[in-house]
Structure 1
Amino acid sequence: MNNQPEIEVGIIAKFELKFEISCDFYSEHKEKFPAGEYTALIKNNQIIIRTRSNEINFGNFLTLSPEKKASFFELKNVIIGVDFHWEQKENQRFSGILKLIPEGENVRAINVIDLEDYLKSVISSEMSSTSSPELLKAHAVISRSWLLAQIEKTKSLKSGGGLYQTSHETHDEIIRWYDREDHTTFDVCADDHCQRYQGITKIHSEKALQTVEETRGEVLMFENKICDARFSKCCGGVSENFENVWEPVRHRYLTKVVDSEFGDTTCVDLRQEDEADLWIRNKPHAFCNTTDQKILSQVLPDFDQKTTDFYRWKVEYSQKELSELIKERSGIEFGKIVKLEPLKRGHSSRLIKLKIHGTKKTLTVGKELEIRKWLSKSHLYSSAFVVDHLDEKNGIPQKFVLTGAGWGHGVGLCQIGAAVMGEKGYSYKEILAHYFRDAVLNKSY
């Protein structure tokens, strides 16, 4: 690959999409769109653009390109942190091309942009300008690697013509994972489901721009393939295997890593329930075991910094709260919850399968994100938790205490751990080598 690719980022889909352009934009048919505010909507699967004085049908897609490279378009009320506890709306500005397509009754806004420009935004959105240069470089490499791997995977799936399976469901078991099933009309989404991308809205760090330039084209590779590099906020002390979180495919560079300079000698087998219980209820040494606000601010944006307990955390539910929550989130009536039983854990102690015993229904749920969805109004911090069933009355617990470890799926790079490594003087190559064992750094363009 000699030149960087152009990518398509799905930003938002709305029934009525309001946007503003900073100067003249032109459609693929050379129609001029002067600077100003517009509303896009769908009628009979056609793109309709509404101004204060007019309404025009543009067919089944519309592409708007800026006359000047420095121009931007602004999308109104973009939701960030979708379904997470920090969900909020904001207006966001983007450089590059605005593409509009129908998505059911909604209009989907897609930003078409060069990959390196996309990365400059991702690094600014995911990381603070106070981050160490080595952390920013490491993140630029994994973000670039992940995206290029996803593009290659999409091409492979399309050429193969096969159905991408993301669930296994029977009468007494629901196993789901979430990866690429949403994104068939663009390369990557703009939210935490993929990588947090907020256009040029949050690009205020020359250091972030510089680190992307310094790593231009650099990717992680394993056996001549670009690595499907992953990252999460806090692994909780040990990173998880890819196949325990997503599709049942083993990647040797995405396996258990003890997040410590002391290596595997400090770690027991967290797939065993007694070992997992002891591990989670304590706070063993790890890079990501930090409360240093200076370091945390490198990784956590302002709205994320409201979260202070993530290396180890607790959540408490009454019987009424938990039974109503699981019914609401799963759509299944379990009755009163009798027991939350761990069936299978991964190498980081994250639950892969959890059996929910109720007075009306007993069922096994997995994988980790589905478990987190069922046990929280948004998402539980992680599926690495143990449960205390308290205040039993007639065999029915009246209180449940979940004690957990880490924040996120735990696969690949641990952002807080990597931030600590950067502060300790590790180079970005050492950070990458720590989290992605056996992967090699290569220049793809």
Structure 2
Amino acid sequence: MKEPKVQVGILFEPQIEFILNGQYVVNGIHVTGRQVATYDENQILWQGRLYNELIFEPTQEQACSFDLIDVTIGINFHWERKEDQRFLGALKLIVENKKLTGINVISIEDYLTSVISSEMSATASLELLKAHAVISRSWLLAQIQKNKEITDTQSCYSAFTETADELIRWYDREDHTNFDVCADDHCQRYQGITRASTEIVQQSIQATRGQVLLYGDKICDARFSKCCGGAFEEFQYCWEDVNYPYLVKQRDSKTIQELPDLRIETEAEQWIRTSPEAFCNTTDKKVLSQVLNNYDQETTDFFRWKVTYQQEELSELITKRSGIDYGQILDLIPMERGTSGRLTKLKIVGTKRTLTIGKELEIRRTLSTSHLYSSAFVVDKKHIENGVPSSFTLTGAGWGHGVGLCQIGAAVMGEQGYKYNDILLHYYIGASIDKLY
């Protein structure tokens, strides 16, 4: 198998400003320097002419780069911001949703070098970086294959179910139809060569070149999150109702194997309110700095955390985030949990409306101005008058969906001397590692 290329959606704006550092070719013309492309009645306006699509190809792959101006990173997260970013490979411009989309077309191994530096600190241990290189490569190739199968069969992808009493919605990457993956946390963080890539990152990519996780003869859908909170979540509790045998419940530990059934409310509550032993239960700043970039370190609580909302604040937040006026919030009732204690169904009881929502990301989006750290939480109500609480405190566990590799847990494993294959097979149970190219 030849090393594939990947198309990464970077920027989605009515106007895209970019700088070509070196000679690029578009429609047989050599161009360089600062450029501006603008959406104009479902076409691309560039240098006074209209186009349906533009592809700027570098004349020298490794010597040329391009800058995209004002790229939004951390979309809808608490640290959302804009920055200029630099990329290798080609720049493709298309029209989508009455805007322009800027797409980077790049070889997978060059893409991975950036992903590893963007997802975590480039100073992480070699074994952690090697593990992340394998899962990022596996996840990407699995998504490309999945997208091809969907396109080939023209199958319809349903991401929600709705009744009068229940709204269950999940968010996956199948909404990208004109490129393979996006560059933000929705898929994998990818910030080109903006983040400094160190020798150890390049070493981790080279050492694992072409390696992927397999289950049987199929590439694993190798999900990962920042912190599982001590227990792995299963795929079907976060996304479509598909069971992957390598993404199953387990405690994030080698010393203690026993894991309570966190789908049971009393077990989940005890688990979330305590601080059980787990690889990801760490406050070691050296370890955390390996996984968390500067803006991620703005968050210090992740294994266990708390957030408190006053009544008016919570009711306004839920109305704004969901578009549904529940009135005053009377209760938040856990209805269903996954194997990590994450809520997959939550009943919101209000004076005007009662509705059960899910899955985990829908719950997190509804209960936060950006994304709640996770849906593994329990609720405490205070000062209840005439059935209306004055405040709600959510006590929670973990950061992210908790499926697959736990980045903080994996960092601790690397620091403790575990090799990358041991780290991978801890999080992807029964999988194997093989070389595709």
- Does structure 1 retain, via aligned residues, the 8 Å contact 2:58–2:89? yes
Q: Per-residue deviation at 1:263? A: 4.2
- Does structure 2 retain, via aligned residues, the 8 Å contact 1:120–1:203? no
Structure 1 residue 23 and structure 2 residue 4: aligned? no
Give the SS at the match of 2:131. helix
Q: How many residues align?
A: 436
Cα deviations across residues 87-142 of structure 1 (Å, max 9, x unaligned)? 11100000000000001221100000000100000011112122110000000000
- Taking the TM superposition and a 5 Å limit, the aligned residue runs for 1:120-199 are 120-199=113-192
Give the SS at the match of 2:175. coil
Query: Using the alignment, how far apart are the partners of 1:181 and 1:328 within structure 2?
Result: 26
- Does structure 1 retain, via aligned residues, the 8 Å contact 2:173–2:187? no
- Does structure 2 retain, via aligned residues, the 8 Å contact 1:313–1:405? yes
Query: Using the alignment, how far apart are the partners of 1:85 and 1:257 within structure 2?
Result: 30
Structure 1 residue 40 and structure 2 residue 37: aligned? yes
Structure 1 residue 326 and structure 2 residue 318: aligned? yes
- Does structure 1 retain, via aligned residues, the 8 Å contact 2:113–2:202? yes
1:376 maps to which residue? 368
Give the SS at the match of 2:174. coil
Query: Using the alignment, how far apart are the partners of 2:420 and 2:7 within structure 1?
Result: 28
Structure 1: tracts of 5 or more residues without a match: none
Q: Per-residue deviation at 1:181? A: 3.3
Cα deviations across residues 37-64 of structure 1 (Å, max 9, x unaligned)? 11111212211114xxxx222x210000
- Does structure 1 retain, via aligned residues, the 8 Å contact 2:245–2:429? yes
Give the SS at the match of 1:310. coil
Query: Using the alignment, how far apart are the partners of 1:142 and 1:211 within structure 2?
Result: 12
Give the SS at the match of 1:82. coil
Q: Per-residue deviation at 1:439? A: 0.4
- Does structure 1 retain, via aligned residues, the 8 Å contact 2:114–2:197? no
Query: Using the alignment, how far apart are the partners of 1:333 and 1:150 within structure 2?
Result: 37
Cα deviations across residues 416-440 of structure 1 (Å, max 9, x unaligned)? 0000000000000000010000000
Query: Using the alignment, how far apart are the partners of 2:186 and 2:255 within structure 1?
Result: 32
Structure 1 residue 13 and structure 2 residue 5: aligned? no
Give the SS at the match of 1:143. helix
Query: Using the alignment, how far apart are the partners of 2:43 and 2:393 within structure 1?
Result: 51
- Does structure 2 retain, via aligned residues, the 8 Å contact 1:418–1:431? yes
Cα deviations across residues 266-303 of structure 1 (Å, max 9, x unaligned)? x2111110111111000001000000000000000001
1:346 maps to which residue? 338
The alignment's C-alpha RMSD in Å is: 0.8
- Taking the TM superposition and a 5 Å limit, the aligned residue runs for 1:40-439 are 40-50=37-47, 55-57=48-50, 59-69=51-61, 70-265=63-258, 267-439=259-431
Query: Using the alignment, how far apart are the partners of 2:122 and 2:248 within structure 1?
Result: 30
Structure 2: tracts of 5 or more residues without a match: none
Query: Using the alignment, how far apart are the partners of 1:165 and 1:140 within structure 2?
Result: 30
- Does structure 1 retain, via aligned residues, the 8 Å contact 2:128–2:420? yes
Q: Per-residue deviation at 1:209? A: 0.8
Query: Using the alignment, how far apart are the partners of 1:404 and 1:219 within structure 2?
Result: 33
TM-score, normalising length: structure 2: 0.99
- Does structure 1 retain, via aligned residues, the 8 Å contact 2:44–2:100? yes
After alignment, is 116-125 or 202-211 more displaced? 202-211
- Does structure 2 retain, via aligned residues, the 8 Å contact 1:232–1:408? yes
Q: Per-residue deviation at 1:221? A: 0.4
Letter paired with 1:295: V
2:432 maps to which residue? 440
Query: Using the alignment, how far apart are the partners of 1:109 and 1:226 within structure 2?
Result: 28
Letter paired with 2:354: T
Query: Using the alignment, how far apart are the partners of 1:143 and 1:374 within structure 2?
Result: 29
Give the SS at the match of 1:74. strand
- Does structure 2 retain, via aligned residues, the 8 Å contact 1:75–1:91? yes
- Does structure 2 retain, via aligned residues, the 8 Å contact 1:166–1:181? no
- Does structure 2 retain, via aligned residues, the 8 Å contact 1:128–1:300? yes
Query: Using the alignment, how far apart are the partners of 1:241 and 1:262 within structure 2?
Result: 21
Query: Using the alignment, how far apart are the partners of 2:67 and 2:375 within structure 1?
Result: 37
Give the SS at the match of 1:249. coil
- Does structure 1 retain, via aligned residues, the 8 Å contact 2:384–2:390? yes
Q: Per-residue deviation at 1:350? A: 0.1
Letter paired with 1:223: G
| Dislocated runs of 4+, deviation >6 Å | none
Cα deviations across residues 123-169 of structure 1 (Å, max 9, x unaligned)? 11112122110000000000000000001101111111110111111
Query: Using the alignment, how far apart are the partners of 2:255 and 2:169 within structure 1?
Result: 35
Cα deviations across residues 376-430 of structure 1 (Å, max 9, x unaligned)? 0000000000000110010111110000000000000000000000000000000
Query: Using the alignment, how far apart are the partners of 1:31 and 1:365 within structure 2?
Result: 53
Letter paired with 1:68: Q
Letter paired with 2:294: D
Give the SS at the match of 2:52. coil
Query: Using the alignment, how far apart are the partners of 1:305 and 1:281 within structure 2?
Result: 23
Query: Using the alignment, how far apart are the partners of 1:130 and 1:116 within structure 2?
Result: 19
